[in-house]
Amino acid sequence: MSLDDNELPRTDDEWRVRLTPEEFHVLREAGTERPWTGEYVDTKTQGVYHCRACGLELFSSDTKFDSHCGWPSFDDAIPGRVKEIEDRTLGMARTEIRCARCDSHLGHVFHGEGFTPKDTRHCVNSVSIKLEPR
């Protein structure tokens, strides 16, 4: 279920009626769910993960790996679906990732940790994504 561009909410109030309070906090206020609490941390089901806010396909289960960090982790995104933004909150230089279409917060991306050959970890809140099993 993917929204057409002209159906995308434009204001916080429009988002609030579409999302649960937790989804709104993470997706629209760049919140973070507590580690190990998300529904997809250990999920191995094959499929495609969509943006919880607008339905855009973001990550394939083929790129999901066990990072043991407490959040779902992917070593690649579907090309063009995730945008990266410099984030200097909490006194750290990190790279925030957002849905390229609806600008909702997904999590952060890290490089150089050596988890997989791609050496990239998209650390994503479960509440930001929705798995459509294959």
Minimum CB separation of residue 20 from Zn ion in Å reads 16
Minimum CB separation of residue 134 from Zn ion in Å reads 21
Catalytic residue, from 51, 99, 102, 123: name it.
Answer: 123
The answer to whether residues 45 and 133 touch, using CB atoms and an 8 Å cutoff, is: yes
Q: What token pair was written down for 49?
A: 């993960």
Pairing of strands 47-51, 105-111: unpaired
Task: Tell which positions 11-70 bind Zn ion, by CB under 5 A.
Answer: 51, 53-54, 56
Is 51 noted as a catalytic residue in this protein?
A: no
Instruction: Say how many residues touch Zn ion, by CB under 5 A.
Output: 8
User: CB neighbours of 105 closer than 8 A, spacing ≥ 6?
Assistant: 26, 27, 28, 29, 30, 31, 96, 97, 98, 125, 128
Is the CA virtual torsion 16, 12, 1, 42 positive or negative?
negative
Q: Is 123 in the site for Zn ion (CB under 5 A)?
A: no
Task: Tell which positions 76-115 bind Zn ion, by CB under 5 A.
Answer: 99, 101-102, 104
Residues that bind Zn ion (CB under 5 A): 51, 53-54, 56, 99, 101-102, 104
Active site residues: 123
